[in-house]
Structure 1
Amino acid sequence: MKEVKAIKPKKNKFDRASGTELSKIRVAPYCRVSTDSAEQMVSYDSQVAYYEQKIKENPNWELAKIYYDAGISGTNIDKRLGFQEMIRDAMAGEFDLVITKSISRFGRNTKDVLEYTRLLKKYNIAVLFEKENINTFSMQGEIVMTVLTSIAQLESESISANVKMGLKMKMKRGELDGFQGCLGYDYDKETKELVINEEEAEVVRYIFDRYNQGMGARVIGNELKEKEYKTKRGSTNWPDSTIRGILKNEKYMGDLLLGKTFTVDPITKQRLDNMGEEEKYYIKDHHEPIVSKETYEKAQTIRNKRNCNMEKGRLKRYSRQYTFSSKIECGFCETTVGRRAWNSGTKNKKVVWHCIKSSKHGKKYCPDSKGIHEAVIEEAFVKVFNEMCHHNRVIIEEFISTIESTLSVSTRKKELTSLNKELSKVEKKIKKLIDLHIDGAIDRENYENKFIELNKEKERLIKETNELSLTANEEKEMKTRLKSFRMYFDDNKPLKKFDADVFESIVEKIILGGIDDKGQKDPHLLTLVFKIGPKSTISMGKDDEVNTRPMCKNLK
């Protein structure tokens, strides 16, 4: 048998990139503090000083680099830039040993701790956890580390649950915990109250006013950009999403909704919109409003109409990029009429409005519709408005006065007040009944019978209150429409050219195409439906001819 000579391993490490022998172990301490408060930063400075001294005292060690993260949770690696830098340097062979205070400093997520210690081990780099006295190169190191990391994760989940419970208790008390920024309001950290920033509030009021006049988010955004108004972050760009976010924010009418989002789990830190999975808390009249409740509610009515208008099971688009956007309806198939540009990019360019079903899916889907030039629709409105104000003034005045008279004698408000009082009495009776049952003053059978009776009465009153509230809101909306209509009607000035503001204020919609007086299909028939009720039908004929029927025949 031939002689086999054993070559003993060298004590020193090697730099595998250069192949040179290293005389000392290159050590990389990792420090992490959970917050960036002054106290925690003192803790960080102490950790740095501690490791510098510890490495100096060990003759076999030399300091490679100190890595740290401040104000970052240990449950997620994604935001820990110092940790990520350490891993990149490890893969580049910059050091041989990572030393850290404890497993919880390295990470509170079992999966991440095991994954990254194994990755470092693959590059021949050990991790030394001082508190637990674990070296990942030892045989029992990974087993003990798995158990202890699981405990650290459980501790993190427990802390998260306690924090979540504390936040819920604050929300139940109606307390605003922190503030992410909201155009029009500043946050007073001492009183924890929202204070109106009048300069920004003017922008918010402008957005609500223009939206309630019929303008879309994109149009309003462009107007704000032209006026060089700035967002909360100082930008002059106003994307549609920013405008929509302002319009649906209940804070602007003085109310506050807490619990809009929730954390899925403490490890991933993923947050989702609260669709009902967690409790929400709504506080009315929490702070000073920027717009009235009526203005806010009107905006929501318009927003819901634009976003949730369903047509045969599919979402019907409701854009307000142009004056006539979502304002024109096909008289034959009842779908939306869209804007198209003919001969685009040439001097013969013409803008027309055509049935979307016909233009997108083919003529066979709406064979009777035709495209109408935008200029002709504008001219038609001007003629109708001028005729309405001069030739049919007596009829329109009588119509408006009748509606105003009906609304003035409405008892909806009194009825609603009476119903709310009745509902309050029933709720008090239910509460008193429950107290009597708890005290043993009433037996279970009588309690259940009486509870069912009162609960039915409560449900009836709630249903009647909701129905009456809806009617009252419709009457309030009609009053607003009448006020806007009368403003232009009483002005008694003829329009010399198309005015988008006047159109938006008085016209509910336009129906393009329909059946004429002779019972024939007419694609050039145009019916203007006004917001206060009456309609006016126009037989357009050719594009250069606009003939208006007498309005008195079209009032309803």
Structure 2
Amino acid sequence: MILQLYAMFSQAESESISNNVKDGRRKGYQIGKVPMMYGSLLGYRKGPDGEPEIVPEEAEIVVDIYTRFLDGESIVGICNHLENQGVKTIKGNAKWHQSTVRHILTNEKYKGDVLIQKTYIADIFSKKSIQNTGELPQYLIKNHHVPIIEPSVFDIVQYEMSRRSNRHEVSRGGKTTKSKYSSKYALTDVLRCNECGSKYKRVTWTSLGEKQIVWRCTSRIDHGKKFCKNSPTISEESLHKAIVNALNVMLTTKTTIHELLKGSMAALLGANRSEMQIGTLSNEIAVLNNQIFEIVREEIEKRTDSKIIEEKCALLHEKIEGIKKEIQQMQLQKQAASSGNGRLREICEALDEIGTEFREYNDVVTRRLISKIRIVSNKKIIITFCGCMDIEQLL
């Protein structure tokens, strides 16, 4: 009995100390006091004034990772490139894991901001770190330090990460399945059949000893004319010519792009309004969590059966999950609006840099400026630039 009392007092003391430490840290967060884990942050070190300082040679690696990702290279490809170049991780390892590159591409510290309390420790004894999805407040400190990556570029990368991870293959012949991102050919990622919505696939035809590269609807390849009856086969050469022509049209319509940019700014302002709604929904989650806690506490005191307690809490848990999904959707919409604005600016800057007409097809330019190409017929395609500007081209 005495040992049990000692254990109870010890646990209570541990929890009290833990709560005091947590309260101290959260007060520090509110006034902008930020812990920086320099040992796992490539590109920064602690400066003489105690503030983050850029490490030039490491910052070059970070910029290279972002540039290659926006140029269409896959995360696996970036890892292979870094290893082949003999580049070491922040821990000094020669092996680059996909999670390491992905962390660099999604870490807001590289655009000069700091988001605090992304995770939390619910149990002081197990010390298990849990993802914070609204259970506790998060603190975003903007312009905390000098960025390595421009905020607009960072936002574009987040949109591209989301786009690659949410790609789906459309097929009338079976279930809709998730497709893998391809970094080999830019057209694999953007060509779509206007009739059935399926991807187009690069195919090599051989006739009388001569090879020809063509693109064909995957549904037509897999199922013949059963589901997609009229999708045309298009030669790669004609596609490349049409894309070059469309890019040259873009060069002559810069004024139109600037008008689109104004429209995108309006969408961005609407997305910013949704951030207030996200805050309200996060507070709702906190209230529901408190209700669950009170229900459990009261019912335990009444010695209610655990199954009854679970039933009472299940509805509240369901509400919390619904709110979390709503928050996630709002965050994606805000991210899309923000990155759309950034992509339009990128188009303007890219076209200003090029200045002269396009003379040959380029995969990098296609990835950066073209979001979709619909194959309407064997004579016509529709090219969509940055998700908001369509240009028809004859083949």
Instruction: Verify same fold: TM over 0.5.
Output: yes
Aligned partners of 1:485 and 1:506 also within 8 Å: no
Aligned partners of 1:355 and 1:370 also within 8 Å: yes
In 1, distance between residues paired with 2:215 and 2:261?
40
The alpha-carbon deviation at position 472 of structure 1 amounts to 8.2
Provide the residue aligned with 2:359 in structure 1: 494
Provide the residue aligned with 2:98 in structure 1: 240
More helix by share: 2
The alpha-carbon deviation at position 197 of structure 1 amounts to 1.0
SS in 1 for 2:253: helix
Provide the residue aligned with 1:331 in structure 2: 194
Q: Structure 1: which 5+ runs fail to align?
A: 1-142, 424-466, 518-524, 539-547, 549-556
Q: Structure 2: which 5+ runs fail to align?
A: 277-332
Matches within 5 A, 1:123-522: 143-177=1-35, 179=37, 180-188=39-47, 191-308=49-166, 316-317=178-179, 319-324=181-186, 325-337=188-200, 355=217, 362-363=223-224, 366-368=227-229, 376-377=235-236, 379-385=237-243, 387=245, 397-404=251-258, 406=259, 474-488=340-354, 490-492=355-357, 494-495=359-360, 499-512=362-375, 514-515=376-377
Residue deviations 1:158-197, cap 9 Å, x none? 2222222222222222212351521111135x75422111
Residue deviations 1:195-246, cap 9 Å, x none? 1111111111122223233333223333333333222122343333222211
Aligned partners of 1:308 and 1:315 also within 8 Å: no
In 2, distance between residues paired with 1:332 and 1:387?
24
Q: Give the TM-score normalised by structure 1.
A: 0.49
The alpha-carbon deviation at position 533 of structure 1 amounts to 3.2
Return the letter of the residue paired with 1:383. K
In 1, distance between residues paired with 2:66 and 2:98?
14
In 1, distance between residues paired with 2:203 and 2:111?
39
The alpha-carbon deviation at position 253 of structure 1 amounts to 0.9
The structure-2 alpha-carbon separation of the partners of 1:384 and 1:242, relative to structure 1 and needing over 3 Å to count, comes to: same
Residue deviations 1:429-471, cap 9 Å, x none? xxxxxxxxxxxxxxxxxxxxxxxxxxxxxxxxxxxxxx99987
**Count of aligned pairs:** 324
Aligned partners of 1:210 and 1:220 also within 8 Å: yes
The alpha-carbon deviation at position 295 of structure 1 amounts to 1.2
Matches within 5 A, 1:65-84: none
In 2, distance between residues paired with 1:372 and 1:228?
43
Aligned partners of 2:232 and 2:378 also within 8 Å: no
Provide the residue aligned with 1:533 in structure 2: 389
Return the letter of the residue paired with 2:253. F
Q: Give the TM-score normalised by structure 2.
A: 0.66
Provide the residue aligned with 1:116 in structure 2: none
In 2, distance between residues paired with 1:338 and 1:275?
39
Aligned partners of 2:251 and 2:351 also within 8 Å: no
SS in 1 for 2:140: strand
Aligned partners of 2:200 and 2:218 also within 8 Å: yes
SS in 1 for 2:115: strand
In 1, distance between residues paired with 2:205 and 2:13?
67
The alpha-carbon deviation at position 505 of structure 1 amounts to 3.6
SS in 1 for 2:189: coil
SS in 2 for 1:326: helix
The alpha-carbon deviation at position 277 of structure 1 amounts to 1.1
Residue deviations 1:506-529, cap 9 Å, x none? 4332324x3467xxxxxxx65544
Residue deviations 1:392-447, cap 9 Å, x none? x6x6554334444x47998969x97xx99xx9xxxxxxxxxxxxxxxxxxxxxxxx
Matches within 5 A, 1:536-555: 536-537=392-393, 548=395
Matches within 5 A, 1:19-58: none
Return the letter of the residue paired with 1:478. L
In 1, distance between residues paired with 2:214 and 2:264?
47
Q: Considering only aligned residues, what root-mean-square deviation do their CA atoms show, in Å? A: 4.3
Aligned partners of 2:202 and 2:215 also within 8 Å: yes
Between 468-477 and 221-230, report the one with greater CA deviation: 468-477
The structure-2 alpha-carbon separation of the partners of 1:277 and 1:191, relative to structure 1 and needing over 3 Å to count, comes to: farther
Bigger relative contact order (CA 8 A; separation at least 6): 2
Aligned partners of 1:328 and 1:336 also within 8 Å: yes
In 2, distance between residues paired with 1:527 and 1:411?
21
SS in 2 for 1:257: strand
Return the letter of the residue paired with 1:321. S
SS in 1 for 2:133: coil
In 1, distance between residues paired with 2:97 and 2:213?
25
The structure-2 alpha-carbon separation of the partners of 1:238 and 1:365, relative to structure 1 and needing over 3 Å to count, comes to: farther
